[in-house]
Amino acid sequence: MKKIIETIGFLVLLQGAGGLLYEWTGWFRFWTVVRHVDFLGDRMLFVNLVLIVAGAAVMVAADAVKG
């Protein structure tokens, strides 16, 4: 269970980092999920930063899970 939570946290962190790379350079156009959500609009930078922090938090919190 711990590895699954760590993997989910890592994927969320990667989505945030990929989103930032897309915002700054235009790379990873098809890879980022947040870009395809229409109602986020002009808040993409903030959402990607939140994804990075949330992914890191989930990875750290995975240490509290036993098993």
Whole-model pTM: value is: 0.86
pLDDT in tens, 15-41: 999 989 888 888 777 777 887 788 887
Is the per-residue pLDDT at 67 higher than 70?
A: no
Mean of per-residue pLDDT scores for the chain: 88
| Cα(15)–Cα(29) distance, integer angstroms | 12
Backbone dihedral region for residue 28 (phi beyond 0: left; psi -120 to 50: alpha; all else: beta) = left
Which residues, at least 6 apart from 12, have a Cβ–Cβ distance to it below 8 Å? 51, 54, 55, 58
With both helix axes pointing from N to C terminus, report the angle between 44-61 and 2-25 in degrees, rounded to the nearest 10: 160
* Residues 59 and 2: beta-carbon distance below 8 Å: no
